[in-house]
Amino acid sequence: MPSIATQARKLQEAIESGNLIPTAAETLKPPIPVADYPASPNAYSRGPLPAGSVQQPDMQRAWQTGATPQIRLIPTAPLSNPVVGAAAQSQAIVQIAATPPAPAPVPASATDIDLISAINRQVIGSLDSWNQTAQSGGGLIYSSSTITGISVGANDLAVAVAAGVDNTGTTSGGSPGAGWTALITGAYWNVFPSAGSHTVTQNFAGTNYDIAQTLAFFKTNGSTPVFTNRGSGSGGTILVSNTFTPAVGSSLLFINSGGTGHIQTIKDTAGNTNWTIQANIAPSSIDGGFPHATGVQMAYAQNVSSVSTQVTIQVALSAGSWIVYEISNIGISSGTYTFLSSDNTEEVQFSGEANVTATLPSSAFAVGWQTLVSNYNTVATITLTSTASINGLFGIQPIIPPGSSAWIFSDGAGYWVSQTQMSFAGLAGSIVTSQMNFGISASSSTWFRGDGTWQPIDWNVPPGVAGKLAAHYNGLALVSNGLSTTIAKADLLGQTADIGSTSLFSPLSNTGFYRLSYYVVVTQVATTSSTLPDLQITWSDQDSFTSMTFGPVDSTTPSANTLQTYYQGSVVINAISISFGNPIKYQLGVTTHYASSGATPMQYSAHFRLEVL
The sheet carrying 321-328 orders its strands as: 226-234, 321-328, 251-257, 296-301, 276-281
Helix (H, G, I), strand (E, B) or coil at 409: strand
Ordered DSSP codes for 489-532: EEEEEEE-S-EEEEEEE--SS--EEEEEEEEEEEEE--SSEEE-
Of the given ranges (8-12, 260-264, 278-282), which has the lowest mean pLDDT? 8-12
CA 566/CA 576 separation, integer angstroms: 31
Confidence of residue 395 (pLDDT cuts 50, 70, 90): confident
Of the given ranges (50-54, 214-218, 437-441, 443-447), which has the lowest mean pLDDT? 50-54
CA 313/CA 232 separation, integer angstroms: 11
Torsion angle, alpha carbons of 136, 137, 142, 146, to 10:
-30
Model pLDDT for residues 26-83, shown as the tens digit of each residue: 666 677 665 555 554 554 444 555 444 444 444 444 444 444 444 444 444 444 444 4
Asked if residues 487 and 584 have their Cβ atoms less than 8 Å apart, the reply is no
Helix (H, G, I), strand (E, B) or coil at 90: helix
Ordered DSSP codes for 115-139: G--EEEEEE-SSEEEEEEEEEE-SS
Q: Which residues, listed in sequence order, are joined to residue 336 by a DSSP beta bridge?
A: 357
Say whether domain 485-612 belongs to CATH 2.60.120: yes
On the question of pLDDT at 90 being above 60, the answer is: no
For residue 438, give every residue at least 6 positions away whose Cβ sits within 8 Å of its Cβ, in sequence order, or none: none
Length of the chain: 613
Burial of 429 (0-12, 13-18, 19+ CB in 10 A): exposed
Q: Is the backbone of residue 236 left (phi > 0), alpha (psi -120 to 50) or beta? A: left
Torsion angle, alpha carbons of 500, 501, 505, 506, to 10:
-140
CA 164/CA 170 separation, integer angstroms: 6
CA 551/CA 534 separation, integer angstroms: 8
For residue 12, give every residue at least 6 positions away whose Cβ sits within 8 Å of its Cβ, in sequence order, or none: none
For residue 410, give every residue at least 6 positions away whose Cβ sits within 8 Å of its Cβ, in sequence order, or none: 364, 365, 366, 367, 368, 369, 370, 416
Confidence of residue 447 (pLDDT cuts 50, 70, 90): low
Asked if residues 390 and 384 have their Cβ atoms less than 8 Å apart, the reply is yes
Please state the φ and ψ torsions of residue 232, each to the nearest 5 degrees.
-150, 170
Tell me the pairing of strands 476-477 and 472-473: antiparallel
Model pLDDT for residues 111-161, shown as the tens digit of each residue: 444 567 788 877 777 777 788 999 998 889 999 999 998 887 788 899 999
Closest to 567 measured CA to CA, from 598, 536, 498, 521: 521
- Say what the pLDDT of residue 308 is: 93
> Could you state, in order of their start, the residue ranges of all structural domains in the chain?
124-328, 334-417, 485-612
Model pLDDT for residues 576-608, shown as the tens digit of each residue: 877 677 889 999 999 999 999 999 999 999 999
- Say what the pLDDT of residue 100 is: 43
* 177-186: long-range pairs with CB below 8 Å, 24+: 183/159, 183/227, 183/255, 183/323, 183/325, 184/232, 184/255, 184/257, 184/321, 184/322, 184/323, 185/257, 185/258, 185/320, 185/321, 186/161, 186/162, 186/257, 186/258, 186/296, 186/321
Asked if residues 173 and 164 have their Cβ atoms less than 8 Å apart, the reply is yes
Per DSSP, which regions of 258-381 are E strands? 263-268, 276-281, 284-287, 290-293, 296-301, 311-315, 321-328, 334-338, 346-351, 355-359, 370-375
- Say what the pLDDT of residue 273 is: 67
Model pLDDT for residues 355-387, shown as the tens digit of each residue: 899 999 999 999 999 999 988 877 788 999 999
Asked if residues 504 and 490 have their Cβ atoms less than 8 Å apart, the reply is yes
Cis omega (within 30 of 0) on the bond before 398?
A: no
Please state the φ and ψ torsions of residue 562, each to the nearest 5 degrees.
-130, 165
Model pLDDT for residues 290-332, shown as the tens digit of each residue: 888 999 999 988 878 889 999 999 998 889 999 999 998 886 7
CATH number of 334-417: 2.60.120
pTM over 0.85: no
334-417 and 485-612 in the same fold: yes
Alpha-carbon distances, residue 572 vs 24, 427, 520, 538, 543 (angstroms) = 140, 42, 18, 12, 14
Mean pLDDT over the full length of the chain: 79
